Amino acid sequence: MTNAPAARPRQGLFYGWYIAYGGAVSNFVTIGIAAFSLTVFIGPLREEMGWTAAAITFGFSLGTLEQGLLAPFTGFLIDRLGPRKMAATGVVILSLGLLLFSQARSLEVYYLASLLMATGNSIGSLMAFSAAVMNWFERKRARAMGVLNAGNGAGYFVVPIVALLVSWLGWRETLMIASAIVLTVGLPLALLLRDRPQPYGYLPDGEPPEDRTGAPIATPALTGFTVGAGLRIPAFYLLALANACGTFAIVAWVVLQVPHLEQNGFSTGFAALIVAFYGAFQVAMRIVAGWIADTLGRRRVYALGFLLLGIGMLMFVQLEPGRLWLIPFYYAAFGLGHAAWLVVQMTLIGDYFGTLRFATLRGLASMFQTPVTMIAPVLAGFIFDQTGTYDVIFTIYAGIAACGAIFVMIVRRPMWNELQAARAAGPPPRPAPAMPAPAGAMPVRPPAPAVAPSMDGAPMPAGQAAQSRLTHAGMADSGP
């Protein structure tokens, strides 16, 4: 007698999409409140507490640094304990951090609250839902990640709501309301998570089981490289370096886009309007980028995203009141590049290294971003002080972003599912000894090998290079 769940016939919306849409709403609430809206509280804190802007923003930087340093540890916990448990834990910690923030009357308490909020966000929002999405999707991974990350982009629209509440009720009362909202909305969405599909009778992507009779389906263990094996593969570092290249452009742009537009002659109101329309455009572009990546190949689209980031940043440098016609081209180039960079970076970790230790490897890769996140805006400010313009540093960052495409294209190794397929196929049969052909017989050309599509969308001859790279226990060599 088997305890395996019966295979479910495909009916209605695949449960994996409930996870993706639920994650989008969770990110909208948690990241919108505890990340994007924190800037609203700087003014009230200065007025009531008398703290300097440097002391207040140090709390933000402390949280950012902690998130970067803790990313491998939180990833390890997600891999070991499961996304569902960690997402629920993160929501509770984030809610407590917001509540503590509302009662802060000293810098020490404020910094402790900042650390709690950063920890809760790191555990309970994007990373936990991303790990679950990796397990529930394979062919449609980028599409699901596009939906998930659309919630992050929509989080910018939380900022004016928080600002209104602060002006009406006060900053302490607003934080208490935010704490309650995060708990009442975020916790049920976290409990919506299921770590992987097979225990519930599903297959990834909602594919119907090959046995349509309702027989039990197997519940395989998660597969992929261990952390040690993943860190010995050059592809891990190439992808991490590519991601860091894009971070230079994105982080500096996020912090300094309004000052740059003002310097180029736009009013503050018009500059804010450009930013607001871009935010709305970006929500849709993340969904579009996911669909394009799954259709054309995720590695190709990821590399293209870096080129578009560079081109879009150069267009941004040239924006001024006399060149309003550039705005739609800037939105198209930088917007699609930004969306591809954000959506595909996580999917490729799962694609190349499997889902066994996805969250841990993703956390280790994100450590490359932490120093860039701290350096890029500061360096841009220093160059502005020396030259009086952001054009120079943004042009440099555009070139760095475009270089990310080079690192991506250097990665030539097969993806994890290709390695598994090649291993399952076994070594190619040895050719039979050649028999002498009868006199006068015409030579016969051997049939071409079968071609199977890869996860990335490019055709790969079955059992070709992937098989030759397999060694003991299904592990691959250290080629890039």
> Do both 271 and 392 map to the same domain?
yes
What pLDDT is stored for residue 236 in this prediction? 93
> Do both 186 and 263 map to the same domain?
no
> Do both 136 and 46 map to the same domain?
yes
User: What torsion, rounded to 10 degrees, do the Cα atoms 111, 114, 116, 120 define?
Assistant: -170
> Do both 293 and 326 map to the same domain?
yes
What is the domain-level CATH number for residue 169? Answer: 1.20.1250.20
What pLDDT is stored for residue 382 in this prediction? 83
> Do both 170 and 294 map to the same domain?
no
For residue 450, being part of any structural domain is answered with: no
For residue 439, being part of any structural domain is answered with: no
For residue 351, being part of any structural domain is answered with: yes
How many structural domains comprise the chain? 2
> Do both 188 and 278 map to the same domain?
no
Q: Are 248 and 372 in contact (CB under 8 A)?
A: yes
> Do both 196 and 288 map to the same domain?
no
Q: Which two tokens stand for residue 185?
A: 């909305």
- Spatial separation of the C-alpha atoms in residues 71 and 448, rounded to whole Å: 47
What pLDDT is stored for residue 70 in this prediction? 77
For residue 475, being part of any structural domain is answered with: no
For residue 6, being part of any structural domain is answered with: no
Biggest CA-to-CA distance, the chain: 101
What pLDDT is stored for residue 451 in this prediction? 44
What pLDDT is stored for residue 286 in this prediction? 92
Full residue range of the structural domain in which residue 140 is found: 12-205
Among 170, 205, 240, the domain-final residue is: 205
> Do both 326 and 418 map to the same domain?
yes
> Do both 322 and 360 map to the same domain?
yes
> Do both 126 and 72 map to the same domain?
yes
For residue 183, being part of any structural domain is answered with: yes
- Spatial separation of the C-alpha atoms in residues 353 and 357, rounded to whole Å: 8
> Do both 199 and 231 map to the same domain?
no
Q: What are phi and psi of 441, to 5 degrees?
A: -75, 145
What pLDDT is stored for residue 469 in this prediction? 40
For residue 385, being part of any structural domain is answered with: yes
Q: What are phi and psi of 130, to 5 degrees?
A: -65, -40
- One digit per residue, the tens of pLDDT, for the chain of length 480 reads 445 454 455 567 888 899 999 999 998 998 888 877 777 787 788 888 887 766 777 777 777 776 677 788 888 888 888 889 989 999 999 999 999 998 888 888 888 988 888 888 888 778 889 888 988 998 888 999 999 989 888 887 887 888 888 888 888 999 999 999 999 999 999 998 888 887 877 788 877 655 444 444 454 556 778 888 888 999 999 999 999 999 988 888 877 787 888 888 888 778 878 887 888 888 899 999 999 999 999 999 999 999 999 999 999 999 999 899 999 999 999 999 999 998 998 899 888 988 888 888 888 888 878 788 878 877 888 888 888 888 998 999 999 999 999 999 999 888 787 777 777 776 666 665 655 555 554 454 444 444 444 444 444 444 444 333 433 333 433 346
For residue 387, being part of any structural domain is answered with: yes
The radius of gyration computed from the CA coordinates of the chain, to the nearest angstrom, equals 25
What pLDDT is stored for residue 448 in this prediction? 47
- Spatial separation of the C-alpha atoms in residues 63 and 60, rounded to whole Å: 5
> Do both 385 and 250 map to the same domain?
yes
What pLDDT is stored for residue 396 in this prediction? 94
What pLDDT is stored for residue 230 in this prediction? 87
Q: Give the global pTM.
A: 0.77
